[in-house]
Amino acid sequence: MIHHVVSWTLREDLDRQDSVARIRELLVGLIGTVGSIRSLEVVENVAYPGKNQDVAVVATFDDLAGLDEYQVHPEHQAAAAEIRGLVTGRAAIDWES
């Protein structure tokens, strides 16, 4: 199982709740479109604002090939492009269990 986490810092000049909702809509909308997604959740930070990043996606895939399929899928590419316009910073980690 591959676990994939990406977190972002939201742009301060945009409405926070609108940005979180749009990121959630874009990424949850990939469930059923990208067949390799086993689970996917978009979560919002609730502690230590200004220190922690604001929002994250937590997803799982059967293997690295599934993660790769997700990364290059045209719908994911379109979602990622739109998300880049909503954020100022990004961090990611992928691990296997």
Residues in Cβ contact with 42 at an 8 Å cutoff, skipping those fewer than 6 apart: 20, 23, 24, 27, 28, 55, 56, 57, 58
Count: domains in the chain: 1
41 within a domain of the structure (yes/no): yes
Q: What is the pLDDT of residue 86?
A: 98
Largest Cα–Cα distance in the chain?
38
Q: What is the pLDDT of residue 28?
A: 98
Q: What is the pLDDT of residue 90?
A: 97
pLDDT interval class at 1 (50, 70, 90): very high
pLDDT interval class at 95 (50, 70, 90): very high
What digits encode the pLDDT tens for the residues 59-88? 999 999 999 999 999 999 999 999 999 999
| 72's tokens | 């290059």
What digits encode the pLDDT tens for the residues 7-65? 999 999 999 999 999 999 999 999 999 999 999 999 999 999 989 999 999 999 999 99
Q: What CATH number corresponds to the domain at position 8? A: 3.30.70.100
74 within a domain of the structure (yes/no): yes
Range of the domain at 57: 2-87
58 within a domain of the structure (yes/no): yes
CA distance 61 to 66: 6
